[in-house]
Structure 1
């Protein structure tokens, strides 16, 4: 507690220094004797008696100088005394002016009762309870003035006068208890002054008062603070008669908070209650003493400021008008703690105008009751009061309950043909668990799946276009036009946690601004609910939200943003469902929102009329996980079918699915990228099934893929066309040929380095030159690494299925935002849109691999001799013997067992009989080079398990033989005519 406000910082006043009197001059003895001595010397020298006359003048001059010095000192003393007196007078004036200024400033800052009761007081400038202060009266307080210099009696007297500020406001802190002791009349007058100061400083939200019964306090009955509900602090007045009964939810005088205020009145000090930190004894109208301050003795006498009861006439009414204008009057004492939904709706349905706070709705309106206000059931009309609504409220204030009650009340009053609801809950969806069962509900969007939520919300623009088309076809200007009656139901979009939704999808703000601007005429209404109204929505959106509802919020700024006052910030945290409603320029109303139970929703469901046609949904469901040819055919019938159907495209902004088609002539080569099991092979099968007579389907096979590349290159380079090998062959000209390569990256990884490089050259050449020759490729792969990174640039069309990571998704040219790891097999991106591939119908025949002959069945050599280069000569020789071919009964293992000729190392061509198979490894054949060269012109040469280096070593050829499958006992057969084929080796 303080007696006076903190004195301001004032420059010190410097007092003048008292003058010091000058000393009295002494007799000038030397000046008197020196002329006498000089005259004597001159007389002794000159002998002139005239010189002695001047010697007589020396004492006279000395005496005259002494008299003159004393005269000058006297004049200086008089001048110093006059200057000091002038400076002291100026210092006294400065002290008096400073004291007057301090007194004036102190009274200007003090919350005196006469200022509260005067016209100059602005009661709307409510103060913080922590800064509240009370003026007891006028008396002496320390001034804070500082005087420097001087120490005589006169200056000490001035210092004492400057140290005390007389007639200053005696200010005390009202926290705790103030005890007033003295005659009843003057004590009540001083207490009346203190009450006027407190209610003038603090709003009804910050201060509630409890006053004693009796006529002495009748003037305070009209104060708005008397009807405060759970204010921040209480002022309790005791004395003479006990305090009035506590209101529901209020603490009594003994149970109040430590921060509450209390004023106790008593005739004597002994009658005061214990614990009064400040005690004032009032002896009369002009005499009082501050006995105790902050629990310590004070003994400060002052003149009390008393207020007569006549001076308070009209003060309570003035404060109430000011509180109503500021929106801080809480009439919650007249409202029930809870309101049941069913009785309220029944009462309002029987008499909608009977005491309701909203007029009877028009047939085109959407009026419904949501709670109980000051004058009975309170209804809101989203059409008449809207067209859109903003709802604010912090956690636990009852926002979700308000939305559920509002939706249930509308559903109970209007059928789905008149109103439907799209519910958006970015708190998981639990808030709308009950009302989602209503037939009026066309969908529930939650934050559990961001992509589905964004897709559904993005469809709202298409809903506006649909409604515009319906109105245009009907010739109506808006939804209320009689020509458009019955064609459209009103759609109410209820969004819980609007701020959270915008944080997740900032781009949706512009879309909701568009809905807010065009929604009135199209019958689309927004109910936006948020915990943080400040800064969430821009003015372009809020300008169309004329209906404002605010439950309790955490601060005045949020309350001002919703309802234009801080009334919602003053709602008691223990009153969930307490709400302030403002519509347009109408005064704000306080109500208690009804509580809706699951039984209430079931009653609404039971009472709803049966509808043959369900209400139209504003968006389509996401693409199905499985797209059948029948589903595609139903949509493809609306227009000319594409050459090849890939699946269905999702177009939420158009509220439709579209057929995804591929036209090789127009779209060029197609690159399909996707992880394992994502539907790449299924896509190729679907394409092949649609036009089997002009397509070659090449599976992920090292031999078939190579052969297809070689044949396609040959077809482009000459008129021979595409020969059948490795793939499924269909007779057609190259101008209509389509090659489908499956998992090209996996095939390339299984080839050797030289075959891989050659295959990539063939593939890129076909992609570069195929379009001009009527050849188009569809290439699928899992990863585009190494040399395959150039494929996207060579393929004019790209289909991206699900990939293992977003980085691989970006590597194929798709934006990171479109990556979705949850898409099912067959789902992906096609030309910027979501696609689901069509399941392939059985084509009746599968892949037919090329027939590879056995090396022992080749009869091209007339000598019936077969040469074999084996990686393991002994094993190959044993396998050929086990095969027991009648054409080759003799098997010779070179370098092991000489069975032809006298000596193996002298074996020559003439020693080799018909039906002989010569088997050896590469080194052994090198040693029998002459035999090899002699037989190669007439006998086929088989390579079994030999490397490409062995092939080139023994054939002296640089071209590549066809690649071999890693399993299946494959080998190369080099005929005498130089052609190389694959063969099966036993």
Structure 2
């Protein structure tokens, strides 16, 4: 059970900032006796007496007590003056806070009375009757009394005045006391007083909810006959309110009831609220286990009859009241013999006749307003079907948009008239919308200029009229305010170009600007929540007073430019059968599409047309909304190069594979360090023929996989190769994840750039993109090339080429030097050479017996030593290096130049792969693969 305090509207409780009381005045400090000032004259007098011997000098000693007394009296006077001033300031602050409490209580009381009026409040403010206020119809005002206030007062002390102010601030006097309408209200008291209170409660419920939302039932007593005059008594729909007289039984399964109970009589079981009347102006209300005294409102029988007559008259004059009771109107019968002139459409009925609106005669543009559940989307669907039923796609086409992700328009895509259905635009989609709509305006202007016509009514013009329908227009402008200028431009120029806008929105006031609204003379309003919106659309408050409920759904007010007052229309409801019948009977000709769908998220290379000549390479499909087309994006051989840049997993490698699939013999720089080193040096020594395509994947990672000296030489040579690509007729395509260091210098040499997705907007801009083009979750392979969105094509699958492995190298000359760090791995590898027939000797042993004698042996000799051993016996090193073969293990790579007498870097050897350098016959060093013993294959390598 809800407590009494919880029935208050929380939106009314936050009343400005809290008020703060001043603290209690601090008592002034008592003045102290100036002992030093008292003692100084006494001591001075005694000193004079001792010096002069004159007794008269002792009179100066009296100055000490006199100064002390004067100082003490002055301190007491000052303290009394400060205490009076503090008391005056505290009193003034109390007065200000008390005045603020009264003023804020007045505002809070007015807000509560406005939100929850009693019968007198409804009758004095007619605009409040049947106004859609959240929560109003769920409670009833049983009187006025004390209620918890949302005002908070802090500070102050424990004095009675501060306590009284804080206590007063917590209680709002003479406030509306509300109780739940559901669950039952029992009015206990003398028959005359109880009947007067019940009349007030029943009328209050009828003034809060229109007949379509509330129906009154129950066994009426003699005192309740006046209820028969209320329109709610005969309503067929809405929640039920039972009015039960004394002694009657409450009907079962009612949502709420008001029952009169005599003094001492039993209250119906389960009744939530008991209102006991003690006097004509006083009662107590028991709800939620809490009892409060209230001042009640009662009406005489004559007053009740007068109020009921006013409500009945209001219901009779209410727009849509007659239509609301007629039930849904099917669209199908209305389309028989429907007019086919201009853009006239039968959307429903006005009384007994079909209601026709014409976008050409009444427009050229329209605004449709209506709150959620009023039937706005159904009206727009009916409007589209009514036009499609009488016109071919050669006469009218539609672009439909719902920017709250609705599905009302999805089924209409089956109509050949519908050129596109748009939902949930993001930032990129909004820009496409702007560019596409502006392109449509330019295209239509060009078509008119081509035949020399002023507008589409010229018989020489063969342009279908384009109707752009936007549901939830306010949501669109809230997310993309820049679109307002585009729609305003279309509204201003659309009539001559044959472009028409139908803008649906829940709110108009403060959302749709006057420049746009002025060009939309056709206005349609279903039920709206605010009278200001009703006035902005149809010029009256009537749309805000339309009945709610399911039975009144689709009741609309229509007002054209020439109408003196809005017309009441019951909108027809379409069915799937209507849609299927119209789609089947329509001309299958599809209109030109002003709006193309977004690029596909996956695109196969085989689905794209290849360039007929010139050797151009297809990259994918480019989106050109400003030209209203999507065309293949190509890379010309004359472009010299392109950089594909983006985060990991965005499709960089796939893009390079797409290019490679269209080239006869592409030259690729492998991703492994050894392959990359070899490929770059091969390109350096032997440039490829003119017309070749060089592909470099993960440009920024190549150098990172190499030691600093190798990385420096690789990037320098690669930079020179790319720089000279244009002169040699090469096309270079590289990919990278980040642009820094040498990669950024090489990237600057590539004139074109394909920018894929980046993790953040800042990184996207750092890669060279524009902030407005950043899309965090764009599909894999989606890029920006030359300002256009491009979806890279996916090449057909190809069989992966296995990496070429070097065969194990074994000694084949009489003497082979082997420089390596002493390790178990190197010893194991030497064991394999021994098994192959070689004899292993140390450098010291060879130096002792002589190299010539060792060379005369029948077996192949392997001379082994670390870098220090070889350099210690330099004559052996020189002889082996000049006349035999020298194998240098990477474990002594830091001494390579000293051992090989070669200043150039040797081919890169990746660690852990049993690589070494072979120097022989004065040739440049070459990379070889050392044999791997079984344990080495499990992790031990020479030099490890």
TM-score by length of 1: 0.60
Query: Deviation per CA, 1:646-676, whole angstroms, max 9, x where unpaired?
Result: 33311122121233233464x4442222344
Distance in 1 between residues matched to 2:710 and 2:734, nearest whole Å: 18
- Written as runs of structure 1 = structure 2, the 5 A alignment for 1:524-543 is 524-543=499-518
Distance in 1 between residues matched to 2:796 and 2:385, nearest whole Å: 48
Query: Deviation per CA, 1:724-774, whole angstroms, max 9, x where unpaired?
Result: xxxxxx544xxx555322222333232112211222233334445654565
Match of 1:425 in 2: 402
Distance in 2 between residues matched to 1:892 and 1:241, nearest whole Å: 125
Residue 674 of structure 1: which of 643, 646, 663 is its match?
A: 646
Matched residue of 2:460: which SS?
Answer: helix
Match of 2:172 in 1: none
Is 1:584 equivalent to 2:561 in the alignment? yes
Match of 2:882 in 1: 937
Match of 2:198 in 1: none
8 Å CA contact retained: 2:320, 2:547? no
Matched residue of 1:633: which SS?
Answer: coil
Matched residue of 1:892: which SS?
Answer: strand
Match of 1:878 in 2: 831
Match of 1:76 in 2: none
Residue 754 of structure 1: which of 709, 729, 732 is its match?
A: 709
CA change 1:849–1:692 in 2 (3 A) is: farther
- Cα-Cα RMSD: 5.0
Match of 1:981 in 2: 926
Match of 1:656 in 2: 629
8 Å CA contact retained: 1:866, 1:941? yes
8 Å CA contact retained: 1:705, 1:741? no
Residue 908 of structure 1: which of 850, 858, 874 is its match?
A: 850
CA change 1:929–1:493 in 2 (3 A) is: same
CA change 1:957–1:434 in 2 (3 A) is: closer
Is 1:601 equivalent to 2:574 in the alignment? no
Residue 349 of structure 1: which of 325, 328, 336 is its match?
A: 336
Matched residue of 1:810: which SS?
Answer: helix
Matched residue of 1:946: which SS?
Answer: helix
- Written as runs of structure 1 = structure 2, the 5 A alignment for 1:610-689 is 611-625=587-601, 627=603, 631-633=607-609, 636=611, 641=614, 643-663=616-636, 665=638, 667-676=639-648, 678-688=650-660
8 Å CA contact retained: 1:340, 1:596? no
Match of 1:925 in 2: 870
Match of 1:890 in 2: 838
Match of 1:964 in 2: 909
Count of aligned pairs:
687
Matched residue of 2:378: which SS?
Answer: helix
Deviation (angstroms), 1:206: 7.6
Distance in 2 between residues matched to 1:790 and 1:277, nearest whole Å: 94
Match of 1:307 in 2: none
Deviation (angstroms), 1:252: 10
Deviation (angstroms), 1:528: 0.6
8 Å CA contact retained: 2:335, 2:386? no
- Written as runs of structure 1 = structure 2, the 5 A alignment for 1:214-253 is 245-247=229-231, 248-249=234-235
Query: Deviation per CA, 1:569-598, whole angstroms, max 9, x where unpaired?
Result: 112233322211111141111222223333
Matched residue of 1:459: which SS?
Answer: helix
8 Å CA contact retained: 1:246, 1:252? no
CA change 1:959–1:619 in 2 (3 A) is: same
Distance in 2 between residues matched to 1:612 and 1:742, nearest whole Å: 48
Is 1:382 equivalent to 2:359 in the alignment? yes
Query: Deviation per CA, 1:351-394, whole angstroms, max 9, x where unpaired?
Result: x6xxxxxxxx5x54222222232463322112211111101111
Is 1:950 equivalent to 2:895 in the alignment? yes
Match of 2:520 in 1: 545
8 Å CA contact retained: 2:819, 2:892? no
CA change 1:817–1:331 in 2 (3 A) is: closer
8 Å CA contact retained: 2:643, 2:733? yes
Match of 1:267 in 2: none
Deviation (angstroms), 1:426: 2.0
Residue 416 of structure 2: which of 439, 444, 460 is its match?
A: 439
Match of 1:302 in 2: none
8 Å CA contact retained: 1:675, 1:782? yes
8 Å CA contact retained: 2:419, 2:595? no
Is 1:869 equivalent to 2:819 in the alignment? yes
Residue 733 of structure 2: which of 778, 790, 799 is its match?
A: 778
Match of 1:150 in 2: none
Query: Deviation per CA, 1:462-486, whole angstroms, max 9, x where unpaired?
Result: 33333344444455433222222xx
Distance in 2 between residues matched to 1:873 and 1:254, nearest whole Å: 104
Structure of higher CA gyration radius: 1
Distance in 1 between residues matched to 2:662 and 2:447, nearest whole Å: 38
Deviation (angstroms), 1:415: 3.3
CA change 1:438–1:243 in 2 (3 A) is: same
Q: 5+ residue gaps in structure 1?
A: 1-122, 131-172, 178-204, 209-226, 261-273, 280-292, 298-315, 353-360, 715-721, 724-729
Distance in 1 between residues matched to 2:696 and 2:333, nearest whole Å: 71
Deviation (angstroms), 1:905: 6.3
Match of 1:410 in 2: 387
Match of 1:509 in 2: 484
CA change 1:677–1:966 in 2 (3 A) is: farther
Distance in 2 between residues matched to 1:892 and 1:450, nearest whole Å: 73
Match of 2:676 in 1: 705
Deviation (angstroms), 1:957: 4.8
Is 1:564 equivalent to 2:512 in the alignment? no
Distance in 2 between residues matched to 1:596 and 1:835, nearest whole Å: 40
Matched residue of 1:912: which SS?
Answer: helix
- Written as runs of structure 1 = structure 2, the 5 A alignment for 1:730-769 is 731-732=689-690, 738-768=693-723
8 Å CA contact retained: 1:341, 1:405? no
Deviation (angstroms), 1:546: 1.0
Distance in 2 between residues matched to 1:596 and 1:341, nearest whole Å: 9
Matched residue of 1:552: which SS?
Answer: coil
Deviation (angstroms), 1:710: 3.4
Distance in 2 between residues matched to 1:679 and 1:127, nearest whole Å: 62
Distance in 2 between residues matched to 1:427 and 1:928, nearest whole Å: 85
Deviation (angstroms), 1:631: 4.8
Query: Deviation per CA, 1:844-870, whole angstroms, max 9, x where unpaired?
Result: x997988968654777xxxx4221123
Deviation (angstroms), 1:497: 0.5
8 Å CA contact retained: 2:818, 2:886? yes
Match of 1:798 in 2: 753
Matched residue of 1:371: which SS?
Answer: strand
- Written as runs of structure 1 = structure 2, the 5 A alignment for 1:806-821 is 806-820=761-775
Distance in 2 between residues matched to 1:295 and 1:731, nearest whole Å: 102
Which deviates more, 650-659 or 442-451?
Answer: 442-451
Distance in 2 between residues matched to 1:577 and 1:850, nearest whole Å: 75
Deviation (angstroms), 1:529: 0.7
8 Å CA contact retained: 1:767, 1:794? yes
Match of 1:518 in 2: 493
Match of 2:250 in 1: none
Matched residue of 2:556: which SS?
Answer: strand
